[in-house]
Amino acid sequence: MSAASDAGHQEHLIPVEVIREQTQAVFKKSPCLFQIELCRAQLCSQHTLQDIISTASTGSGKTLSFLMPLLFNGGKITIIVTALNLLGEQFGRQLESAGIAGISITASNANRATFEVCGIVCDSPSMRLTQIKAIRNLEYRVVIINPEILMQVVSVACSAAPPAIHAVSGWTMNA
């Protein structure tokens, strides 16, 4: 679905120049048209509840495309699932340089303390304590996580949550 072609949700489209200017101001990069259209499609999909699939070659600017909607989504939290730790680190660096609060969940911090919602683990260093509080209080705008860790977290959440929670049980790539 193209955001531009969804006539029923035209009121949700942000003008191209506004997206370009805000992206330049915050991320210090000038987005190309495919990135702007992808940003618009993501923002529109929040109203239509439709999925978006986008493909682009390595180095074409997908990372910026994922981050641009943060500038226009009214403070909503974004969860980015990436199988590559290096890509997660790239997201983290761009968020940090833009002044946007985010956390990358990796094997080193994917533990009970990071996801604790009932209390705070007191045996952590102060920096760790801050992260736990921030996750619990929804202070991060972006959470970056790999599929394996996500499935572990969703599995734990589903075992204690109402049946309305749905989880992806596998990843498939069709040629």
pLDDT tens digits for range 105-136: 888 877 766 665 434 444 444 445 555 556 66
Q: What is the pLDDT of residue 114?
A: 67
Task: Examine the domain organization and report whether 97 and 155 are in the same domain.
Answer: yes
Contact 91, 104 (CB under 8 A): yes
pLDDT at 35 > cutoff 90: yes
Across the chain, mean pLDDT equals 74
**Residues 95, 147 within the same domain:** yes
In whole angstroms, how far apart are CA 173 and each of 61, 109, 129, 166, 170?
21, 29, 39, 20, 10
Question: What sign results for the dihedral spanned by CA atoms 142, 100, 91, 113?
Answer: negative
| Residues in the chain, total | 175
Q: Is 94 left (phi over 0), alpha (psi -120 to 50) or beta?
A: alpha
69 with 100, same domain: the answer is no
CA distance 175 to 173: 7
Q: Which domain holds residue 15?
A: 1-52+62-73
One domain, residues 67 and 97: no
Label residue 82 by pLDDT band (50, 70, 90): confident
Q: Do 131 and 81 belong together in one domain?
A: yes
Q: Based on the fold, state whether residues 137 and 160 are members of the same structural domain.
A: yes
Phi and psi, residue 150, nearest 5°: -60, -45
Q: Check whether residue 22 and residue 66 sit in a common domain.
A: yes
- Overall domain count for the chain: 2
